[in-house]
Amino acid sequence: MHELSLAQSLIDQLFGLAKEHKADRITKVLVTLGPFSGVVRDSFEFGFDVLKKADPLMREAVLELETPDPVYLCLDCGKVSVIPFSRQGDLLDVHSFSPYPKKCPWCCLNRLSPKGGNELILNHVEME
Ligand SMILES: [Zn+2]
């Protein structure tokens, strides 16, 4: 399970930070999950919740996930567009199974390339 091992490496990272700061417990964790990271949000949250219970340091940690809207670069006009998944319905080519919008909102051509968005970043940690 991909998400479980990602959650595990996040927890390892948090342990390191807690040690560094001589903290007794971690209360809140803010993670940015890129829209193209391929990480299933629910599985990741589930994995974190299961793993955190194994240690008192982490037991009460609240995980907050932030998923930025996907950004695309148009290979024809070079413009960059932010197109939320929820608004991609009308831009989708119904004859393909691609999860990506097929039309650039600027030039209406169809060579959009996902720009970045595959990150999993530990943004912020609160500890006591
Ligand atoms: Zn374009």
Instruction: Output the pLDDT for position 72.
Output: 92
How close is the Cα of 128 to the center of ligand 1, in Å?
49
How close is the Cα of 7 to the center of ligand 1, in Å?
37
- pLDDT tens column, 13-45: 999 999 999 999 999 999 999 988 888 889 999
Cα separation, 30 vs 54, in Å, equals 20
pTM summary value:
0.79
101 compared with 69, residue with greater pLDDT: 69
Instruction: Output the pLDDT for position 12.
Output: 95
Domains and CATH numbers, the chain: 2-68+117-127 (3.30.2320.80), 71-114 (no CATH)
Cα separation, 117 vs 35, in Å, equals 5
Cα separation, 99 vs 120, in Å, equals 20
How close is the Cα of 67 to the center of ligand 1, in Å?
24
Neighbours of 3 (CB within 10 A): 18
- Closest to 115 (Cα-Cα) out of 76, 86, 75: 75
Cα separation, 67 vs 84, in Å, equals 10
